[in-house]
Structure 1
């Protein structure tokens, strides 16, 4: 990682794409020899089923760029958390955010949302059994009782709605078989990792009523530690893990044409708040830059919590062989008190303790019809969500020096609530035996209300009493409401601000089935990210309009033979009315810090994604995925100006191999992959924190007994121990001579957060 910006390297990326095409040609030549019979032991591709269009289809029939990884592959590769899937999906970033283990940063094709503050909407939708997970807190899901993960790339504005301008990630859990099953597994590994997972199902009434359960307890020591803490009796582990998750499901089959499912799940993550790595020495303390990127300093408590709990239900009725009706509902809530030390020093230079509190309810009525040459998916959707929070930006050291007061805090509190409804439909017509047409549209109507309280307190304050040992929150401080509505005309804001937006998002596509195993498709689709209010407002500013993405995609889904699959997509999009919060005023003076949220930019991108699978023999398989994106800024009114894409390399690729070794005691499966990301920026407006290109090597071996009851696996991840930055904070100024000076808080706050180091872990399990 270097503190400088590199221009885009089109030539290198274009060459890499050409290499991928050459590999495809070489594979095709080899397979031609096999077809002639020169190599006898040839394996076959498997059929992969997905629900990208809300009906069960083969992956090769869906005219959408999609990556699907099933439960067996997840287990064999040792993929235990959602963020690891970015390696296998081109042009995809799924990473833990900067302050916690559980908050997700998600970008697909350069579209997403980095800031997890309440009120901001994601650009990539996360779904658990078709239930929308509205907030990034807790979205770094540990995989428990999963059937498959689907990553849909490109706008999904018709079937999945708002906030899917980049795409959608679908977490699909297993439906029960009706048999009595039980599975227990334990894992030990690097940094004293100790994981236990228990899953199973119980038939209560044969063929009618089943109960399923799952529980996981996951723990690990920190990759580093807090070298200095200003508070006594703190847990000094940094990047540790302490999490449990539970799930309970009930399925009822009252008749062959009825199905009812009810789920409850809860996750509680009490891992420590993550401390960042100082990329520059502090001007105000003598603590040096740590030797390890996982070491830090803090003046805050190290506790952190992310608690999620939700209920969901689905009722399905098959009226006939052609018509199916579903009702899907959910209610979810989350709560997270967190400590983020922006400056990562033992001084209270720039500390941000915060609380997030969210709840939402969804209802969806869906009808699926299929008959011969015509199929239809349509539905009604309703969402009601409340997202609230507060944070205290403590600048205590600055207050004592500049104002001779006990401390200084800018406190911000507020809520950003949403009610929306939508009606959608997507129809598919077979015009001939080879040519088909798909037409879809969604109409969304949304109303948002928001208020923000924002003001200065000349003391160090925390969200509630007891936040630090002996602390009692001062009384009598009134934080003025700065965003809202004056209902009685007295000049005082006393109610939330309210705005509404509506949007019609179409999709049209054409598919040509050249042969039984080769399909070409082209589509135009539109998606939007919801309009919103500025959760950091300092004045009564209006809400901003939705972001709009218009995308064209041309692709091929092909099985060139029984053992070669090549899926390729070429895309281009325009991203309009980008919401951007700009800093105005003197950023070294917290009393003059003004932030405005505007529709400030328009950008565009072109790219290509390719996934190849080659089954060389019954025992040997290779995979290659490549993603390339070329980015353009078309309008740039952001302050500071945009300079590139956030968290999005120009080039990503992954090469994998799997080999099955049969033996008298069971089968051994060896997996290896090499994953590479080109250099990328952390912030789209700054070149001070960027990650150089890097590659990662992972190796696994898994075993299953002949009877299928015992199994084990050994996994080595990031075996070359690459250090790669995934988040950060940038609060410095640039001097005229190019050097970096103090920013907000009076110090050089340039902070990086890093991905996992080399780890090795062993899993042993038993099932019946």
Structure 2
């Protein structure tokens, strides 16, 4: 009898802790011998079928909605504190745009023309753009994080890994949840969910969520809050299940983010204005939102994203299932970016992002006692556009503006297959292959104007000085990616595996490139690929009371796509009066590491979870002007060390169960961009969090108090380096004020939450 088949846990909170531990760290099946404790089987769909997480021979971590609630998670970025080799940060400290890296692979810039190195899925729908991807955690059943290339099982090829956000299925009984929270900085959150069975075969559901919070700091120029939060979202869903063999799901969601623009903190005083360095890193004097520089978008800062999805699962026979996933998504962003962070219009940028995508995926799944196979077809039709002005308002009287407008269209299709065959009861082999074809079409225009803003963003009186880009181009990229995995069950509770997989991402066009100066930008930048070898162990031991999962990997990363921006001195006076985008296909990098995660159930009341990753990420080849400058470059957003430790203790209280928990997370040194800079990079740091939660015996009430960053650590999450080389060490300067700015993670906060389930 396996550990998952033993006696059911009687103590509700022990069960919750054990189950959440199992999901926080793959496949926990821990039992305490003295009470024959067990946990429910952890079921995930990492390999496109339902199976125990411990049986999945790849590096994958999953957390349930219950665990997220017990730990007081607010958004998806907090996963990075406890998941090995993962960095998730809000782009420019926004509340909705995500910068994601896994095992050294990701994408720093959210501009059109660039796809993410980490694939994000919402109910099996690939999100092509990072705007709106910083998901607040509500209406969630679980979140799965898969590390390493994913392509032979998924619609879109992912080089670094994939994050799957899985929403709750609707209940066949009337039920609902109401959660209200209040916390530091006048945080006020509300989430309400209801599921209504209209008939035996038809169910309707809906969720509405509001997340509100004052800022961590102040904007002394506009009078508004800095780092505040103002998000409203809702989700509507329906399920039709006329028989045991047919299930149809329909969902629509929409989110509106009206949070204030955030400007980074300046480590240097204004070189021209003399503006002093502020004492609080969350404060600013940024004035772009009320200056003429952003009049073209009325100083507006907002993100709207919405989408619908229809999925059909049709079980053709006992072994064969046909699945269809049809989806359409779009988002629209108007954003105020104040690069100088000052009241003067030295270096401001109004930005508009407009993205649309349609996708269709078909899967044919064949599952027998010894064979599990997936055959799939995926189609994506996407359009990403951006329009933005870079306004250098103090350079000359009236200002100079560099406008960039670009549309990049993607039409991609792929076929993929993956077969797992059990050669014996202990030995399994999985073989997969994928063929992808991506066509990119670009329409780019860039121009320099005399005036504060361009005609494209509202300034009809601007005078065109020179066009720097004006072209249309298209390229088609294709690739074949294989996967091989062998797993062997040493015992009933221990499995070893080894495998190889290839990740690939198509090339594209940089809308910021100046083709009139450098005609080669019309050719676009090249595709990148990653070859990854991985070996691992998944084991339950100490009589079923402990779990240790280990993964070792080695990757060769070729033609890594690195976007950047540099200043351009158009008139030769020694001062940069424009900028140009650059994309480097960095020749070759090597990334290797070890990842360890697991749990201990010391007693029926006391448990612990841990995680660790040690990475060696090194660029081997980076050619500049015929010279290899690899020793002067670093892989972005990839700390070499990560550690996590959580301790939980539970006791009966007031007819329910009280859980006391605390955790510590550690991140090693982080280089924000490819060139190290002490003013925007983050040295190693630790975060301490703690929670007290009470769960009623009937699971109807959950009350929690959560404290985060209890040591009030100041840590950098992003930055811009356009300051002077002599002071800030930046490779390229723009503006006259020594423009280096830094964004920070949240300070010490607390949140009290009450949830009622009916």
Residues 216-242 of structure 1: per-residue CA shift (max 9 Å, x gap): 011000000112x2xxxx451100000
- Select the residue among 703, 718, 721 that pairs with 2:712: 721
Residue in structure 2 matched with residue 531 of structure 1 by the alignment: 507
Deviation for aligned residue 1:605: 1.0
Residues 350-388 of structure 1: per-residue CA shift (max 9 Å, x gap): 101100000000000011111121110111000000000
Residue in structure 1 matched with residue 617 of structure 2 by the alignment: 631
1:42–1:615 contact (8 Å) kept in structure 2:
no
Does 2:156 align with 1:174?
no
TM-score of the superposed pair, with normalisation by structure 2: 0.90
Rate the CA distance shift 1:742–1:61 in 2: closer, same or farther, 3 A.
closer
Rate the CA distance shift 1:154–1:672 in 2: closer, same or farther, 3 A.
same
Rate the CA distance shift 1:388–1:481 in 2: closer, same or farther, 3 A.
farther
Residue in structure 1 matched with residue 25 of structure 2 by the alignment: none
Residue in structure 2 matched with residue 647 of structure 1 by the alignment: 637
- Select the residue among 216, 237, 259 that pairs with 1:271: 259
Q: Which stretch shows the higher mean deviation, 300-309 or 329-338?
A: 300-309
> Could you tell me how far apart the structure 2 residues matched to 1:584 and 1:222 are?
32
Residue in structure 1 matched with residue 546 of structure 2 by the alignment: 564
SS at match of 2:261: coil
2:677–2:729 contact (8 Å) kept in structure 1:
no
Residue in structure 1 matched with residue 114 of structure 2 by the alignment: 120
Residue in structure 2 matched with residue 482 of structure 1 by the alignment: 469
Rate the CA distance shift 1:514–1:221 in 2: closer, same or farther, 3 A.
same
Residue in structure 2 matched with residue 257 of structure 1 by the alignment: 245
Deviation for aligned residue 1:765: 2.0
Deviation for aligned residue 1:620: 2.0
2:567–2:733 contact (8 Å) kept in structure 1:
no
Rate the CA distance shift 1:259–1:614 in 2: closer, same or farther, 3 A.
same
SS at match of 1:686: coil
SS at match of 2:750: strand
SS at match of 1:680: coil
SS at match of 1:398: coil
Residue in structure 2 matched with residue 394 of structure 1 by the alignment: 391
Residue in structure 1 matched with residue 363 of structure 2 by the alignment: 366
Rate the CA distance shift 1:589–1:536 in 2: closer, same or farther, 3 A.
farther
Does 2:368 align with 1:375?
no
> Could you tell me how far apart the structure 2 residues matched to 1:154 and 1:740 are?
33
Residue in structure 1 matched with residue 57 of structure 2 by the alignment: 63
Deviation for aligned residue 1:691: 0.9
SS at match of 2:723: strand
SS at match of 2:395: helix
SS at match of 2:288: coil
1:329–1:362 contact (8 Å) kept in structure 2:
yes
Deviation for aligned residue 1:161: 5.2
Residues 587-640 of structure 1: per-residue CA shift (max 9 Å, x gap): 664446444434233111110000111112222211110011001221112588
1:42–1:618 contact (8 Å) kept in structure 2:
no
1:673–1:699 contact (8 Å) kept in structure 2:
yes
What is the CA RMSD across the aligned residues, in angstroms? 2.2
> Could you tell me how far apart the structure 1 residues matched to 2:450 and 2:728 are?
34
SS at match of 2:78: helix
2:493–2:540 contact (8 Å) kept in structure 1:
yes
Deviation for aligned residue 1:686: 3.0
TM-score of the superposed pair, with normalisation by structure 1: 0.88
2:321–2:364 contact (8 Å) kept in structure 1:
yes
Residue in structure 2 matched with residue 761 of structure 1 by the alignment: 751
Rate the CA distance shift 1:598–1:684 in 2: closer, same or farther, 3 A.
closer
Rate the CA distance shift 1:694–1:597 in 2: closer, same or farther, 3 A.
closer
2:567–2:734 contact (8 Å) kept in structure 1:
no
> Could you tell me how far apart the structure 2 residues matched to 1:707 and 1:67 are?
29
Q: Which stretch shows the higher mean deviation, 671-680 or 615-624?
A: 615-624
1:353–1:463 contact (8 Å) kept in structure 2:
no
1:390–1:463 contact (8 Å) kept in structure 2:
no
Residue in structure 2 matched with residue 307 of structure 1 by the alignment: 304
SS at match of 1:279: coil
Rate the CA distance shift 1:638–1:292 in 2: closer, same or farther, 3 A.
farther
Deviation for aligned residue 1:177: 1.9
1:41–1:617 contact (8 Å) kept in structure 2:
no
Residue in structure 2 matched with residue 210 of structure 1 by the alignment: 203
Deviation for aligned residue 1:559: 1.2
Deviation for aligned residue 1:94: 0.8
Paired residues, number: 706
- Select the residue among 127, 140, 144 that pairs with 2:138: 144
Residues 680-721 of structure 1: per-residue CA shift (max 9 Å, x gap): 111122323211111111111111222332221110011001
Q: How does 1:307-706 map to 2 (within 5 A)?
A: 307-400=304-397, 406-461=398-453, 473-474=460-461, 480=467, 482-484=469-471, 496-539=472-515, 540=519, 541=521, 542-560=523-541, 561-581=543-563, 589-591=575-577, 593-637=579-623, 643-688=633-678, 689-706=680-697
> Could you tell me how far apart the structure 2 residues matched to 1:78 and 1:473 are?
49
Residue in structure 2 matched with residue 5 of structure 1 by the alignment: none
2:118–2:163 contact (8 Å) kept in structure 1:
yes
1:43–1:616 contact (8 Å) kept in structure 2:
no
> Could you tell me how far apart the structure 2 residues matched to 1:277 and 1:500 are?
42
> Could you tell me how far apart the structure 2 residues matched to 1:740 and 1:634 are?
23
> Could you tell me how far apart the structure 1 residues matched to 2:500 and 2:662 are?
37
> Could you tell me how far apart the structure 1 residues matched to 2:651 and 2:576 are?
63
> Could you tell me how far apart the structure 1 residues matched to 2:546 and 2:186 are?
42
> Could you tell me how far apart the structure 2 residues matched to 1:463 and 1:209 are?
52
> Could you tell me how far apart the structure 1 residues matched to 2:153 and 2:163 are?
13
SS at match of 2:672: strand
> Could you tell me how far apart the structure 2 residues matched to 1:223 and 1:584 are?
31
Does 2:174 align with 1:193?
no
